[in-house]
Amino acid sequence: MGKRKEIRVEGLSEEQNKELQELAIEMEAEAIQMKADFEENPQEEMEGMVISVHQDSVLLNDETMKLDSDVVVEIKKKENEDE
Among 20-24, 43-47, 62-66, 72-76, which stretch is predicted with the lowest mean pLDDT?
A: 72-76
pLDDT in tens, 19-38: 999 999 999 999 999 889 88
Highest mean pLDDT among 15-19, 42-46, 73-77: 15-19
Mean pLDDT across the chain, nearest whole number?
78
Residue 3 lies in a domain: no
Average confidence (pLDDT) over 11-26: 93
Query: Buried b vs exposed e over 23-60: b needs ≥16 C-beta within 10 Å?
Result: eeeeeeeeeeeeeeeeeeeeeeeeeeeeeeeeeeeeee
Structural domain count, the chain: 1
How far apart (Å, rounded) are the C-alpha atoms in residues 22 and 43?
31
Q: What is the mean pLDDT of residues 66-78?
A: 63
Whole-angstrom distance, CA of residue 27 vs CA of residue 78: 23
Which residues constitute the domain of residue 43?
14-77
